[in-house]
Amino acid sequence: MSDRQELINNAVAFLSDPKSQASSLAQRIQFLEAKGLTPAEIDLAIRQASPQPVGPAPLYRAPYNPYAQPPNTWDWRDYFVCLILEFITAIVSGSVVYGAVSLFKKYVSPHLQPPDATAYEEDRDALTAQFDKAEALLREIQAETAAVKAAVEEQKDKVDKTTKDVEAVVSEMRQGEVKTRDEMREIRDEINTIRDMLPKMIEKNKETQTQSLAELQQELKSLKALLLSRGPTTSNLTASTPPIGRPSIPAWQLASSPSTPVPTSNSPVVSPSDERLPPAASISSVVDPLTNVAHVQEPKSEHDKSPTTEVENNEKETIEPVGESANVSTLETDNSEVEESPKESFDDANRGVETKGEEETEVEPAVPVEAGVDQLENVEPLRSPTVETEPTKTKDEDASAPLPQNDANMENLTPEVKDDTALVDSNAKPMSPANGLDAPQDNSSSAITSGANVEELQERLKLVEQRFTDVSKSFKRLQAEKLAADSVLRELTPVETLQDSDGLRSYLQNIAAKVEISQEEIKRLNGKLEGQEDRLEELRDTHRLESRSQSEQIESLRKQLRETEALLTASQGSITQGEDNLAKRQAEVSRLNEEVAKAKELAKEEEEKRVKAISLLKTVRQKLVKAEKDKEDAAKELSAMKEKENSQREKEEAEKTRLQKEIDSANAEREVAVNGLKAQFDKELATTRDQHEKETAAIRSQYELEAVTAKSVHTKAINAKTSRISQLETSLEVLTRDKNSYFDQLQLRQAEYESSQEQVELLRNQNAEMQHQIREYADQFALLKEELHEAQREQGRPVVSPSSEDTARLMSAVEARYEAKLADLKRVLQNVEKERGESDTEWARVLREKKREVEELKQMLGSATRSKEQDEDVVGDLKTQISSLQAAIQSKESQISRVSAELAQVKDVENSHESREAELAAKIEMLEKSIEEGKSRESQLRLNVKTLREEMRKVQSSAALLDRQRNRGVGYWTSRPDSAPPEPSTNVSSPSGRSSTSDAPPSKDAEEEVNLEYLRNVILQFLEHKEMRPNLVKVLSVILHFTPQETRRLIAKV
């Protein structure tokens, strides 16, 4: 059972349920429509669920039917009965005629037809020969059709294979394009990141270098200021103080003084043993190495300002500032660690300078690094720390005047140092007189002679030693940072030192030019990529359109193939039908032969009867002879016998004449019937021959036209295929060229990307090497620090004022130390050159590998061209096969046309019998359809009448209810100017539709008015109730007497 039948059964059960019958029919129909049933299925379910009427139907009349029934008109049933009677009479008459003809053929024609061969046998032989030829030709056509079908399938497979290959190539090209696009995007991202990283790294290096140079300059300036400020005091002290008579400071106190703070007023400064160093000796021993170091390092400080400012200006001209980078180099952290040491040393110094209760040390902050290297020339040197102490009772602290020795020391310095000394002297003038460091020489000499100022001189000596350690540390750190900056420049740039400003400027300009060139190249590549993407979109559109047209052509070819197969199957069916008819004719001929044999047997039987009659006559004659012999004995009997014989003879003659007349009349009737049959057969044969000739001519012209159209369509399809193949070839060539260009660009971009990666790797290696060198420099700094501690410990011992030999030895030691550093730098330079040679060899190896890859790609391109030539050869072979198949198809079409003509000849013979059978079958079907339509119409009318009655009852009840509830006013029919009294409404609400009190029939105008009122009320009621709106069409169809076609059309429109 199907799903629809199950739904109909469920609908019937739902409609027959007494619970559902309590609701209105409109709600039930709406529910069934919601369940997915069609209106026809709903009507069928209502018909099946409606009970058969048991009692007499109520005498309801159609409300206000203005049409009168026509008197005594024939219904379709009468016509149907007449047709059935005519059909029965025709069948009976036909059967009687067929029986008479069969009896005549069976019993009369064998006696009338001669026993020789007839025209039917000849026709049979001719038909059998024609059928044999047609069968052989059909076998050949079937074999050739199978071959053509196999060839067409093979061609279709080849075409599908070529299209698949082309699609695979196109998909491969697309994948390659996507891959190249992704690689180009990655390369672009890498270039952007490198482009973003390089300015940041350069900026970081610049900041570190500028910061280190600024700190170096500040430290040098502070060192110069300290040396210049301490120089006059120490010289005067050494000139005025006696060399003996004062104990020196212990060595352990001098060793621990750089790291431990000076005690405050609560802890005394004097050692427990009260051993004191002569101030002049200690100050001179401290100042001499500082002056020597200053004289050694001053030539380097002359060139610290200009390269830095030039580098800053060049960098500002070429490179724009870049935002913060996530990749922070390790050099910055190392510099930050190194930068923390002077701050700690200065803090320790400030904490150690505090004196008894109120001594405080104030150090002015250095110039910030962010000010840039251009502002370093305008920065004042670091002021010497101002020490505020309690005012003493001496009067020598109020005056300050330099000594001639200071002028002598100033003459030995460079011009830059002189400028710094002037700045320091100008800055040192407003200092407090409590600061004993820059006091004039006269006051200091007078203070030294007094014994009360010894402790103050010791505190100043400790402060000077502490400042000396801080300055030496900062100087060494600055020197290490300068060397590190030079090494970084040597590693990252072709510039050797910071002094080579022109080289650094050209290097940065080259980098900026390279960045601009790379940006322009990237823009050009982006534009080229956009153009290629647009071109690929156009190619995709053309390929989509071509594939669509090709698929349509394939579908048309398949449709033609299906049509030819349908024609072949139809021809095969007609051939099998002809074979069946031939078998029927052969069976009829065999039946006729059997009848002829039976007739011959009857003739033999009659001959035997005649022979028996002759023998009987012979016996009669013998009896007559015997009678003559017994004549005498039986004369009376003989005469009686003669009389009897005469009478019997007369009777026999009369019978014989009668039989002869009957035979003559039968012969005449037979001749007339035979002549009539022959004439009828000749007429039918002539008409069939003419019809056959006309049909053969029409079929021949139709097949020729179809053959011409098929040929033209096939040629068009072949031309389209060839054009498609040529287009695909051109597109393939274009794609191969694009692929080669993309591949070359990809190789170039890969080479550029690899070179950029190598540069990044080289920068990383250089960064690591720089970090290693920084660690080495830190180790060297630690060693130098240890040496400084040893020197300080040596200085803590009682020594005599240094002589010229000591200064020479110190100078030689410093020279040896710096020569060792230069040797180390030369060794580092050799290592860098060695690494450069190794990198050159590595680049050469990479270049050889790239050349080998290019050669391999060229080989792949050659193989691709060879495969393309093979594909072209395959396409040529396919074209030749298509042409051969076209010729074969044309020959097969001609054979099919010949066979179809012969089949048409065979069909014409059968059409006469089939037409009669078809006419009878059509008549029977028409009658059956008319019966079924009448039954369905009757059931539908019954159902409509039933539903109409129910709806009328509901409408009348609702109308009465609404009339009672409705105010008489706008929209009410009594508000019309020609309104009728309320009696028509009561008449409308009555079941019969008429007034029960009035006996006279209403007039035509009054009836039309009531109908209009009724229609208006019904439409208003259905429109006011939303759930009753779906049934409005059915109610109107019943009221207005719609036909079923009009009802269905209105439902379809609504």
As a whole number of angstroms, the distance between CA 997 and CA 989 comes to 14
- The string of DSSP letters for 595-606 reads HHHHHHHHHHHH
| pLDDT of amino acid 405 | 40
**Residue that wins the pLDDT comparison between 75 and 471:** 471
Predicted TM-score (pTM) above 0.75: no
Cα dist. 751→176, 178, 523, 528, 851 in Å? 18, 19, 18, 19, 11
Lowest mean pLDDT segment, chosen from 388-392, 551-555, 808-812, 872-876 = 388-392
As a whole number of angstroms, the distance between CA 586 and CA 591 comes to 8
User: Are 875 and 725 contacting, i.e. CB atoms less than 8 angstroms apart?
Assistant: yes
| pLDDT of amino acid 663 | 82
Is the pLDDT assigned to residue 374 strictly greater than 50? no
User: Are 248 and 270 contacting, i.e. CB atoms less than 8 angstroms apart?
Assistant: no
- Please name the amino acid found at residue 86: E
What mean pLDDT comes out for the span 84-106? Answer: 85
As a whole number of angstroms, the distance between CA 253 and CA 256 comes to 5
Residue spans per domain, the chain: 1-54, 966-1054
Identify the helix (H) or strand (E) that includes residue 764. helix 635-796
User: Are 220 and 413 contacting, i.e. CB atoms less than 8 angstroms apart?
Assistant: no
What mean pLDDT comes out for the span 683-690? Answer: 82
Cα dist. 562→137, 223, 557, 572, 837 in Å? 22, 107, 9, 15, 78
Q: How confident is the model at residue 349 (pLDDT cuts 50, 70, 90)?
A: very low
Is the pLDDT assigned to residue 614 strictly greater than 60? yes
| pLDDT of amino acid 51 | 59
Q: Which residue has the tokens 């209810």?
A: 961
Which residues contact residue 475 at a Cβ distance below 8 angstroms, ignoring those fewer than 6 apart?
Answer: 219, 220, 223, 293, 297
| Backbone torsion region of residue 361, taken as left when φ is above 0, otherwise alpha when ψ lies between -120 and 50, otherwise beta | beta
| pLDDT of amino acid 943 | 85
Kindly state the tokens that stand for 1027. Answer: 């759930």
**Terminal Cα-to-Cα distance of the chain (whole angstroms):** 33
Domain 1-54 belongs to what topology?
Arc Repressor Mutant, subunit A (1.10.10)
What mean pLDDT comes out for the span 15-29? Answer: 81
Is the pLDDT assigned to residue 373 strictly greater than 50? no
| pLDDT of amino acid 520 | 84
User: Are 14 and 28 contacting, i.e. CB atoms less than 8 angstroms apart?
Assistant: yes
Lowest mean pLDDT segment, chosen from 35-44, 166-175, 326-335, 541-550 = 326-335
Identify the CA nearest to 441 among candidates 261, 240, 626.
240
pLDDT tens profile 184-209: 888 888 778 887 887 888 888 788 88
User: Are 210 and 370 contacting, i.e. CB atoms less than 8 angstroms apart?
Assistant: no
For 655, what's the count of Cα atoms within 13 Å in the CB-facing half-sphere? 6
What mean pLDDT comes out for the span 675-684? Answer: 81
Is the pLDDT assigned to residue 448 strictly greater than 80? no
What mean pLDDT comes out for the span 525-552? Answer: 80
State percent of the chain over pLDDT 90: 0
Kindly state the tokens that stand for 692. Answer: 């056959």
| pLDDT of amino acid 835 | 80
Task: Look up residue 106 and give its DSSP letter.
Answer: I
| pLDDT of amino acid 551 | 78
Average pLDDT in the chain? 69
DSSP bridge pairs for 361: 387
| pLDDT of amino acid 881 | 79
Which residues contact residue 190 at a Cβ distance below 8 angstroms, ignoring those fewer than 6 apart?
Answer: 753, 756, 757
Q: Which residue has the tokens 């000749």?
A: 682
pLDDT tens profile 584-595: 877 877 788 788
| pLDDT of amino acid 270 | 36
**Residue that wins the pLDDT comparison between 949 and 327:** 949
pLDDT tens profile 467-513: 888 888 888 888 888 888 888 877 777 777 777 778 778 888 888 88
pLDDT tens profile 836-854: 788 778 887 887 887 888 7
Q: What is the dihedral of CA 1041, 1042, 1047, 1053, to 10 degrees?
A: -110
Lowest mean pLDDT segment, chosen from 422-436, 458-472, 608-622, 862-876 = 422-436
What mean pLDDT comes out for the span 392-409? Answer: 39
How big is the CA angle at 311 (ends 309 and 313), to the nearest 5 degrees?
Answer: 70
Question: Per mean pLDDT, which of 401-410, 561-570, 792-801 is the most reliable?
Answer: 561-570
What mean pLDDT comes out for the span 882-899? Answer: 79
Phi first, then psi: what are they for 325, rounded to 5°?
A: -105, 145
Is the pLDDT assigned to residue 829 strictly greater than 70? yes
Kindly state the tokens that stand for 324. Answer: 């913060």
3-state secondary structure of 275: coil
| pLDDT of amino acid 981 | 37
pLDDT tens profile 1023-1054: 787 777 777 777 777 777 788 888 888 777 76
**Residue that wins the pLDDT comparison between 985 and 79:** 79
| pLDDT of amino acid 277 | 38
User: Are 578 and 907 contacting, i.e. CB atoms less than 8 angstroms apart?
Assistant: yes
Is the pLDDT assigned to residue 602 strictly greater than 70? yes
Is the pLDDT assigned to residue 715 strictly greater than 80? yes
Is the pLDDT assigned to residue 621 strictly greater than 60? yes
User: Are 480 and 777 contacting, i.e. CB atoms less than 8 angstroms apart?
Assistant: yes
Kindly state the tokens that stand for 128. Answer: 């059998």
| pLDDT of amino acid 118 | 67
Burial of 703 (0-12, 13-18, 19+ CB in 10 A): buried
DSSP bridge pairs for 853: none
Which residues contact residue 641 at a Cβ distance below 8 angstroms, ignoring those fewer than 6 apart?
Answer: 627
What mean pLDDT comes out for the span 76-94? Answer: 81
Lowest mean pLDDT segment, chosen from 186-195, 198-207, 401-410, 674-683 = 401-410
Q: Which residue has the tokens 């505190």?
A: 459
Cβ-based neighbour number of residue 962 at 10 Å: 14
| pLDDT of amino acid 119 | 65
| pLDDT of amino acid 451 | 58
Is the pLDDT assigned to residue 103 strictly greater than 80? yes
Is the pLDDT assigned to residue 534 strictly greater than 80? yes
As a whole number of angstroms, the distance between CA 26 and CA 31 comes to 8
Task: Look up residue 362 and give its DSSP letter.
Answer: E
Identify the CA nearest to 263 among candidates 417, 438, 459, 440.
459
Q: What is the dihedral of CA 83, 84, 90, 96, to 10 degrees?
A: -170
